[in-house]
Every structure is written in structure tokens, then in C-alpha cells.
Structure 1
């Protein structure tokens, strides 16, 4: 059975624009997904990247053009300058880690947090928003209050694993054969790889 390790940040606009395509691709190929939320701001300097506020204006302008084009192509609602960006991604990441440990379908929870940032003007660092996203995705909202130590440890471990496995952005997908795919716009390639066409 194919396995996909999914490294991502709940703050990433390009991860938001991936929607539920990863889950659809995994279902199509009988693949399992391990969700690995990570601290993208800590990842950038360790892997040769630069956080958006520190990038050259030309890179920021191109990024915005790419976001607008991708939003049009996907038809997803998107606020390009959200009220709560950047914010602390740790609480939402801890909730995802706790939800994955409890079992159940984590994909809708990840998408709920991303949608909260990029379409709903909500602060995913807020306890109320974290509980709301958990509940909306079918999880017990009290998961937000449990396993904080495990969440913190796993979140830190995910970052270290990401650095060691060649991850440098979000979303980032790695198969069990160490094939790596970076970006929502590489999901078609991941699909083709799992189908044996790449």
C-alpha cells in the first residue's frame, strides 16, 4: 500500500489552495497519508529559504500573482491579505496531531484550519477557533485541551524530520520510495507517480 508523508503548515496559502486533492489522490490509489504539521517559519532559514516578510519585492509580487491565478483556477474563495496572518500555527498543529492520534479523517480538519485563515478571517491561534474547527471536522473539540505536551514534541520532531528528509516548503509530499513533490501544483505529478506513469 502506498504511503504519503504530508509535511505542511496551517498558515500556507498554497497548502490551502491544494484543497482536498491529496485525499482524493490517496483514495484513488489506496494510499495512506501521515499528516505532519510543521513550523514553516523555522524551516525556511534551515533549508535556504526566506520568510515572506523578508523576501525581495519582486518575489513578493510574483507570489501574489501566483496566488491570484491559483485561486481562479481552483475556484476557491480567498482573501489575499487575511486579518490573522501571520499568527501562531502551533495550536492548530497540536490539534491536528491529537486528532490523528485519536483516529478519524484528518483531511477535513486540516482544510478547516486553512480555510479559517484564508477565507473566513479567523485566528487559528484562538482556542475558540481551534475547538470550532475540530467540531466541524467531526472531532471532539476537547482534543484542543489534551495532549499539549505530545503535540509540542511531535510538532518539533516534524520540523527536524522535514529538515532531514529534504523538505523546504509547504505543501510537501514524500512517498515511501522517497519521491518528493513540492507544491499544490505538483499534485498531478504525485497522482501520475502513484499510477506508475512517472
Structure 2
């Protein structure tokens, strides 16, 4: 059973029959370090399940790059507004390391309801989980201290701190690299 199948079965309750139809719509894709999954200003044409590696989601704000998220194993990655609403992406998504993905093209994604009767219900669960995740991230940025945000991120995925440049992690949790360094020294 692939990681994608484990995720779908565990979080979405997909039957064996639906699982076969769903998984067969995905194909393996590899991005090398530095490759782009999506560039801002373009409409996203795919949704991927992150199997291995790290991908940075960021925007350029004036002269500054702001890291929105570092995607890692076990996450879906896409631009929802692009794949669902055909709107250009606000963020760029770039591989920080070699990434292995299971990918479904937008056309296939939008046609899943023809092959899986329960797809509208399953898609709602998937999108609800994405929004729940975003709400948690927003709440943490608004309500937690810098030390609490650092501890939360470290608890979620400690290996990020061994692999990802600190300036990206600092940006992602809403602080300067200097502030993150001070917090790390305290811990």
C-alpha cells in the first residue's frame, strides 16, 4: 500500500473500489532540487501528494521573500484557487530537495466525480481538512509567542530544522532569523 493509499484510507474513509479508481488517476512525479512545482501568476494545473522531500511555498513581497509553508512527506500540495477556481497563483512552489510526488492533473481531478460516486463527499472532507490546517496555522501566528510557534513547528516536524535554511523557517513562523536564533539558543 502506498503512502497515498494510507492517507486516503485513514483520513477520508475511501472504499476499496473507490480507492482503485482514485489512486489510478495519480501518477508518480519527481522534482529535482530547485525545480518549480508552480510559479506565481500561473494557474495551477495539478494536485500532488508529497511522498518524499521538501518543497517551499513562498511569495515575493517587495524585495523580500516570505515563506508561507514548507511542504513535506504526507501533505497534499496545490493552489486551491487555481485548481478549483482557475485563478492565478499568488505563491511560488519550489523543491528544496529532490521530491517524489503522486500527482493528478487538474482535468482528471475535476472529472473524478464521473468515476467515484462519493467524490463530492470525499472532496469536501479533503478541502475541509486543508482549511482546518490553515485555520490552525493562522491561529498559531496570531495567538502564540515566538517561542510557542518555534516549539509547535519543532513538534510537528523536527527534521525541518536539520534540512531547511533557518531564514525560511523564521519567515514561515513570522519572525526574523535573528529572533529564531535567539530562541534556539535558549532551548
With normalisation by structure 2, the TM-score equals: 0.24
Bigger strand share: 2
Q: Per residue, is there more helix in 1 or in 2?
A: 1
* TM-score where L is the length of structure 1: 0.23
